Structure 1
Amino acid sequence: MADEDFNNANTTRSGNSAGFRSDAFDPWMQPELFRGVLTRRFFAFLIDLVVLSTPVILGVIFIAVFGVVTLGLGWALFWLVSPASVIWAIVYYGASLGGPHSATVGMRVMDLEMRTWSGEPGYFVLGAMHAVLFWVTLSIFTPLILLTGLFNGRRRLLHDMLLGTVIINNSVLASVAQSYRSY
């Protein structure tokens, strides 16, 4: 009975609505949460690249046609493509990872979800920083930083470790939450 009271106190102390304890997402207790996560993340990234690049490509086409119509004056807008692409990517990741699903479109297709270390869903600033740190660490440390996911139980990449986030299989989340509530 004392262990049950301690677990219930641990659950309520963390303040999360899902009922996860502070030691949520243990790779040894729930390995199904992390099974296939790296492969799914790769394909989710490719889907997100398509989602991110489609409006940028449409914008470039619009500027090119606008430049032809204005006899070359519209091509002066090409300088906006790079900053607009960066802003679009930050807003996309911030809004999607900080939204109700805590996942980008690609992650939702691949049935993944981002959570904090303690099991809380993401929020806008965390989602935006997740994207920024991914691109910064990737550009500084080369793609070899992606290998860090192979050597830890939670399949976390370097930017996940720095931000305290975990990417999990969303399909098995409900059964894990139910097992935590039964304590």
Structure 2
Amino acid sequence: MSLMTEPSWGLPDPEYNAELYADVPVKRAIAWIVDALVIFGITLLVLPFTAFTALFFYPLLWLFVSFLYRTFTIANGSATLGMRLMSIELRTFRGERFSFPDAAMHTLMHMVCFSFLLPQIASAILMLTTARGQGLPDLALGSTALNRTR
């Protein structure tokens, strides 16, 4: 028996709760764009505090700000600001909201996948083709994104 067929699996069944998974891949893509704009804004606010020397290592600044932003917003509500705007949230394999360690691990895996073309493409294809709309980080952690019910 696989983990997904175990009775202890805490995520809603996509066959019986299709409304929880409806349009989630599209909403995740839009949320990602919103989050990228928020991160860009934060990095622009940080630049003057570095006497604009951060321009010389801007990609590293982006990675640092992105990691902090995603980890803290996901740990604080199981969703980034973009995800909240799109009314979706992340859930662990137990069906629970993300804790800080869950958020940090998901963010790290997301950033690694996004750093390389093939895992990025594979993750996008998986989100569009798996029953729960899970990308590579989600499959590795057993997590998924769901439409918020409240």
- TM-score between both structures, scaled by the size of structure 2: 0.82
Counterpart check, 1:32 vs 2:19: yes
Aligned to 1:158: 136
2:110 match: 134
Alpha-carbon distance in structure 1 between the residues aligned to 2:52 and 2:25: 41
Q: 1:42 to 1:77 in 2, by over 3 A?
A: closer
Preserved CA contact (<8 Å) 1:94 1:123:
no
Structure with the greater alpha carbon radius of gyration: 1
Is 1:93 paired with 2:64?
Answer: no
Residue of structure 2 in register with 1:109 after alignment:
85
What residue in structure 2 maps to residue 45 of structure 1?
32
Measured in 2, the distance between the counterparts of 1:76 and 1:39 equals 37
**Percent identity of paired positions between Structure 1 and Structure 2:** 25
Rounded Cα–Cα distance in structure 1 between residues aligned with 2:102 and 2:74? 8
Question: What SS does the aligned partner of 1:98 have?
Answer: helix
Q: How many equivalent pairs are there?
A: 142
RMSD (Å), alpha carbons: 2.2
Structure 1 91/134 Cα, relative in aligned 2: closer, same or farther at 3 Å?
same
Describe how 1:115-130 pairs up with structure 2 within 5 A. Answer: 115-130=91-106
The 4+ residue runs of structure 1 with deviation greater than 3 A are 74-84
TM-aligned CA distance change 1:153 to 1:89, over 3 Å = same
Runs of 5+ in structure 2 lacking a partner? 1-6
Cα distance, 1:82 vs structure 2: 3.9
Query: SS of the counterpart of 2:144?
Result: strand
Task: Specify the code of the residue in structure 2 equivalent to 1:133.
Answer: M
1:16-46 Cα distance to aligned partner (Å, 9 max, x none):
xxxxx63431111111110000010010001
- Cα offset, 1:166, TM superposition: 0.9
Q: Check the 8 A contact 2:42/2:65 in 1, yes or no.
A: no
Structure 1 gap ranges (5+): 1-9, 11-20, 67-73, 175-183
Aligned to 1:59: 46
The CA distance in 2 between the partners of 1:98 and 1:75, in whole Å, is 30
Deviation at 1:149, TM superposition (A): 1.3
